[in-house]
Every structure is written in C-alpha cells, then in structure tokens.
Chain A
Amino acid sequence: MSDATASADRTLRTGPGRLLVAVYGVFALAATARGGYQLATRFDEAPLAYGLSLLAGIIYLVAAVGLARAGRTSRGVAFVSCAVELVGVLTVGVTSLLAPGAFPDDTVWSNFGSGYLFVPLVLPVLGLWWILRVHRMDHR
C-alpha cells in the first residue's frame, strides 16, 4: 500500500468521516431494530414496508462499516451502499407519494424520509460527496 493510499484511508474515517460513521450507525440501529421488531410482531400487516425498513437498516450498517474501515475495497462498498440508499429513498419516496397504498405502514424511506427529518435523503448525498472527495485526494 502506497503512502498516498494510507493517508487517504486515514482521511476517510477521520474528520467529517467520523461524524458520518456515527450518523450511519444510529440510522442502522434505528432502521434495523424497527424493521426487525415489526417483522417479528406484525408480519402480516405490511410485510413489504417492514422488510424494506429492515433492508434499509442493513444497507446503513454496510455503509457505516465501509466508512469506518476505509480500505480501498471498503470505500467501494461504502460508495455502492450510499448509492443504493439514494436510489432507495428516491424510489420509495416517489412511490409513497404516487401510490400510498403500496406501503400501508411507514418505512424509513417513505415520503423521502420525512418521519426522520429528511435525514435519510441527505445522508447518502453527504456520504457520496465525502467518499468522492477522499477518492480524488487519493489520486492527486
């Protein structure tokens, strides 16, 4: 591993990266616990919505670990999971507005994450921006 790569790895998980990992960690916990609990207790009511919450939680977890580990591979993993989140929150957001019946119960991503102060919408954008920034530093 070259010195430049090593310093980029440190950069990804220090500074703003550390805050991102903390926020991702909290959201991973919130979404996974919520989805898991709802699937375990009320599976019949809205399996799609609850499954989606659980899936979102797992993706947040992957992103958090990817950002925290910050190797070249981890950076790629974090990048992909942030991208999936962004697509997910946009898709589910539009769907929940156009076809409210699709999700009888709210998920983390319903209405673009309005139940969570729109953090789910902003978070992947910040994550992608941060990873790309560090990536560019790496290649300078």
Chain B
Amino acid sequence: MVDWLTMTIQMAALGMAGWCLVSTFRDQPMVVPHLVGVAVLWLLVIGQAVVSVVAIAGGDRPDQTAMFVSYLATVVLLPPACAVWGFMERSKWGPAVIAFACLVLPVLMVRLEQLWNPVV
C-alpha cells in the first residue's frame, strides 16, 4: 500500500461521487466522461493493487493476508461493476449507482489501510 496513492484514490472517488450525484439530480444518464472518470479511478486502484501484491510477494505482508487480498479483489472489481450497471440503466439512476460505488471505495481503502498497518 502506497499512502499517497490511497489518498489520491479516496479524493478521486469522492470527486467522482459528487459529480455523479450532480448528474443524478440533473436527471442525466451516464455519459462517456463518467466512464473515463471511472476508468481513471480503476487504473489508480489497479496500480495500488499491483504495488501491494508485489510487496506481499516480496515478504512484506499484513497479518491477515487472506482478508487483505479479498478486500483488494473487491476494490479492484468495484469500478468495472458499477460501469456495467451504468450501461444497463440508461437513466439518471446509472450515475446514482456509480456515485454509490465511489462512496463505498474510500471506506474500503480505509479498511485496507487498517489491515496493512494495524494501529495497536
């Protein structure tokens, strides 16, 4: 886990969530810029996942490695899943689903940080 990457992901996710909520209230369906935003977020998350997996493979692993990896997998799957949802729902509720996913993401990042660096 790279701290600044976690921070960046959290800020980007919250920004995306705000933007998608605005789209929802303006009654707009998901558009291409939303998808680009989700894709950027996904790349950041994948970057964090790769760095973490390399660290784990190198021996720098958290106590609950299985738990950490399962959370990591969920975080990586979240952005594409919400993009698929946006495609299925061609109304304002598409961005609403993306907004929800982008609100869950920072929480999952906090949980990952806790597992990586448990505060005793």
Give A residues with C-beta under 8 Å from B.
Answer: 14-16, 18-19, 22-23, 26, 29, 33, 37
Contact = CB atoms under 8 A, between A and B. Distances in A.
A18 B97 contact: yes
Interface in B63-114: 67, 70, 74, 82, 85, 88-89, 91, 93-94, 96-97, 100-101, 104
A50 to B, nearest CB: 14
Contact of A18 (B70, B74, B88): B88
Contacts, number: 29
A16 B82 CA distance: 14
B101 A22 contact: yes
Contact of B100 (A14, A19, A29, A37): A19
A15 B67 contact: no
A18 B29 CA distance: 13
B93 A19 contact: yes
A16 B93 contact: yes
Nearest to B97: A22
Contacts of B74: 29
